Chains A and B, each alone.
Chain A
Amino acid sequence: MLPDGLWTWANLSRLLEGCYVAVSLALAARLLRNGIGRRYWVLTAFLAFSGLTLIGFYFLPRRTNLYAQVYFVLVPLNWCFYFALAYEAYRRSLEDHPGIATAGRWVVSGGLLLSLLVTAVTLLADLSAGSQSFPVLFAVHVAERAVATTITLLMAVLTGFLLYFPVLLRRNSLMLVTGLTLYFLGKALLLLLRNLLGPATVEVLSTVNQGVNLAIVSMWFVRFAPEITGQVGRRISIPSEQAEEMLRRLGRLNEVLTRGPGQ
């Protein structure tokens, strides 16, 4: 048993953070070692970046200007990573399917616009919250919630498109799509709660967020595996007798078309 006072939210958060750093850096190293990192380079870079950032923050003195400056520089960088991760998920999902490449691009572009619109509407809830003790930090959290919600919706649109056609995903791409959806969904909802209920909830919500992040990175760690090159999954194959019948019918159709109208 641990002595009283050790099981605090802050300690739990620190423990989860430590585990997250260890797993994300180990995963990044493993992805690089077995060659997956070259295909999923944004994910690899993000894992390394987020792990090293947390280590860096550990050594920075809290509640100082330096801490705040580093934080405000890194936040937009993180957002760029988020969009890059979503782009990587889209690219990897459709890379084996040139037949629907342009359609996929149209759907994702339209989905991005739609997601931005829907997110803008949902931000009204955050902005309607009462006055905040730290307005700048609140603005950053609202912006981060907007980014996370937009990407969650974008991933939902992408998943819908993949299900509609129905696209055969590689195992790692499937893990990436699902993992990112859960990652951004968790972030968006926790930030929504934080923005609605104020900074007093930060400690608990941040710990939950660390737990979600750790679960997702652990899932990737267990499930990501070297990929088999070549085409993915089984393609639609038409049985030969059915194929012959289809060609025969097509021939008949062509005959009718060749004869032209009125003949």
Chain B
Amino acid sequence: MQALLAHPNVVAAVVALAALLLAAAVWGHRRLRTAHVQPHIDWKAVQSFNGEYYRPLERILGEDDYCFLQRLPGYQPEIGEEFRKQRRKIASRYLDRLEREFHQLHLLARALVRDQERDRPELAVALVRSDAEFRWNLWKVRLQLSLAALPLPESVLRPVSPRGLVDAALWTQAQIWLLHAQAATTAA
């Protein structure tokens, strides 16, 4: 016991690490246990996902309207600032909704692949990839929005396209239809 008490820092660090990892293990256990409960899926939302709804996002994130505003007589930098601020808020709301809808679609797609009777490694990998790409693209767009709030030179603030985000959601929705059609055919 004395040997342990002689190194309180090492012991404290290992105990803290143990507590952290134990908490993570317990969290994992609880999540795995509740996986038995069918995740809440809003079927209507899954079905009604429409990529067209997010079409304005590209324009909101783009520079065209801002450039147009700058050319108007009586334009002042404060007006431009206010315009950009409002656009950032609107874009952020669009992105929040898109993220929610994508996660709902993706969860359902993963659950459908999981329940397949036939091994579908290509689809599992494609789902993982689309999820990673969506997260990465979303992070880039959000970062760009955050940077736009800072006084940085315009060359740094290149507009980013949200098209990849919407495409990923549409692709996931198509996979759900295809997987469901296959399941229905098998059942018939």
Contacts and interface: CB of A to CB of B under 8 A. Distances in A.
Interface of A: 9, 97-103, 106, 156, 159, 162-169, 174, 177-178, 181-182, 185-186, 189, 192-193, 196-198, 200-201, 204-205, 233-239, 242-243, 245-247, 249-250, 253
Contact of B4 (A99, A162, A201): A201
A178 B29 contact: yes
A250 B181 contact: yes
Interface residues of chain A: helix, strand, loop or mixed (majority)? helix
B43 A239 contact: yes
Given A102-B121, A189-B17, A239-B43, A174 B32 contact: yes
A249 B177 contact: yes
A242 B108 CA distance: 14
B31 A101 contact: no
Given A99-B120, A101-B119, A235-B115, A181 B177 contact: no
A236 to B, nearest CB: 5
Contacts of B107: 166
B111 A182 contact: no
Interface residues on B, range: 35 or more
Interface residues of chain B: helix, strand, loop or mixed (majority)? helix
B114 A246 contact: no
Interface in B24-70: 24-25, 28-29, 31-33, 35-39, 41, 43-44, 46-47
A242 B42 CA distance: 11
